[in-house]
Amino acid sequence: MATEHRLTATASPGGLLFTCEDDLCGRRLVIDRQTGEMTVIDHGDRAALHSGSIGGVVLATPDVT
């Protein structure tokens, strides 16, 4: 049983910061604007499915373990 969480994107100096809207989860990740590389800061709820979008760019479900 996977719960779906939504990620909210915020522009930050290091790139696009995605924060999970679920307070109990706290997943955070940053996507570098230039390389598109994704860096997970906080894993949060690993069992949850995370999805989010910004400006027409749709994030695939991150597959980070």
Residues lying near Zn ion in the complex (CB under 5 A): 5, 20, 22, 25, 27, 44-45, 48
Which residue carries 């989860």 as its tokens?
A: 25
Least distance to Zn ion, CB of residue 21, Å = 7
Nearer to Zn ion, 13 or 49 (CB): 49
Least distance to Zn ion, CB of residue 5, Å = 3
Least distance to Zn ion, CB of residue 39, Å = 16
Q: How far is CA 58 from the centre of its chain?
A: 11
Q: How far apart are the first and last CA of the chain?
A: 17
